[in-house]
Structure 1
Amino acid sequence: MNVAAPQTPALRFAYRAYVTLFFLYLAAPLAAASVFAFNNSMFPALPWNGFTLDWFFSDTEPMLGLFHDRRLLQGLGNSFYIGIIVSVLAVAVGTSNAFLFERHEFPGKQALYVLMIVPLVIPGVILGISILVFASFIANEARASMDLRINFLRPGLFLVIMGQFSFLATITTLVIGARLRKFDTTLEEAALNLGASRLRVLFTVTLPFLRPAMIAAGVVAFLVSFENFNTTLMLVGSDSPLTITMYDRIAKVGSTPVLNAVSVLLIIGSGALALISVLVQREPKRADVDS
């Protein structure tokens, strides 16, 4: 018997009503955005004028579809490019950090750990501005003192990647570190006693155990990178990722159903990646292990 569950009919009804309203609150905006992506109208609002796929596939104005909108496709490509690079870097550094904080003791460890957490709690706008000011200072000093142009320290993809990496490395460190904390180190000791080198133990024993957390951390890093706006807005140059492109479109011409079509694509993609993240973290059933 679950003693934490509501026991009286009134409490059970209130509990179920709360859960239902909570998930409706989460799902209603997504459902509305998805529905209006298929509305044969120039505006993402009622009335419903009929079903259409033009906001996805039309190649003519004014109902230019997502797959023929060059700016949106370019923004989508930039977001993929940034997300893949940032997630790979974040997982690599996060794995190293996990070993550092979980396996080693050294002076100033707690202070360093707190310092690592700081980018995660600082508002994204402040983080972006700080990185922009610091990078611009270095670039300006290099040009003034050595007549050296360091263009990659100007607003652009490099600064966007560095800005997102600064807090995504923290997320991956926490995810992978939590998995490493559960690892039985006697497995490594047994492999070493059997003559394996430390490098071989790392790649054949430890990293396979960490693989689900590394994949999940990479998926989370990619999704957070893909949807990041505040930090990216402060660091972006001419090659805008999708979030900035969508914001610029809304600011100039207002909301159109093609942005709802983008939302549908992102909902499907994010849901698929989230499902992958859940599946790779599932522990194998005892029957599977025994077999």
Structure 2
Amino acid sequence: MLQDARTGSIPKEESTLVLKEFMQSSAITQLAKYEPMTKPEKEFTYLASGPGAYWVGEGERIQTGKATWLTAKMVTKKLGIILPASKEFLRYSVSDFFNAMKPAIKESFAIKFDQAALFGTNSPFGTGTSVWEKIQASGNTIALNSIGNLYDELNGVMALVEDHDKDVNGFTTTRRFRQKLRGAKDANGLPIFNDANAGVTSQALGLPIGYVDSKSWDYPKAHLLAADWDYARYGILQDIEYKISEDATLTTIEDAEGNPINLFERDMFALRATMQVGFMTLSEDAFAAVTPEVVAP
């Protein structure tokens, strides 16, 4: 029972389900490349530019191609949530309790992770590491309705990435923007958007679209992001751990009168769940954005 197991890791089956739903809810975990983590810091090398070949005359020496390998270091940070609940949940089995809490945990973790990785909102990963900050540095933006219809703009942001010899392999946006995607047509009047059905991911111009919770998205900055997502990496270090308290005072939440919530006074308890995740971007020219329409003064 939960009241007899107040500290520890979520049971493996439930932890796997929560982690799976977190990864299905986060746009970053859907699109970016996974980097296995066994410790809080990990250094790895990646191919920044490949070797070139050379024309060789008969009997001449073949020149040695030079590949550029760079080293990157990913650091994981702790992500946590505190969920207050009534005492009746203490009489649940651990498995039943985490099945009930699973939606709140996965949504909270996914929103916070995407906010930091996509737009740098309250990011613990350092200045300049988010996708949007890389786009600002490169200037890879096209305003909505600036060069034609949405088909032209999507084609344009893909070209901005392709100009640097990288391939866009996915888009990310919010469901708020899906209406514009549904209405977009190419030069022949054919729709460029295929909505999700039968387990198939939504696509535009043949590329997958990862949807982000609207709470994770900064709509005044960008309506859609396009990227070669191999240049964005994420890692997950630990399973989700939890601890339960019945006598804490929660200073980050207030009652109707503006007072902190005291669990002992209200006969409640709170669950604290934590996990460790990492994120980094490897190139500033691998990302581009469709930004809001510029309104003439």
Q: Same fold (TM over 0.5)?
A: no
Larger strand fraction of residues: 2
TM-score by length of 2: 0.28
Larger helix fraction of residues: 1
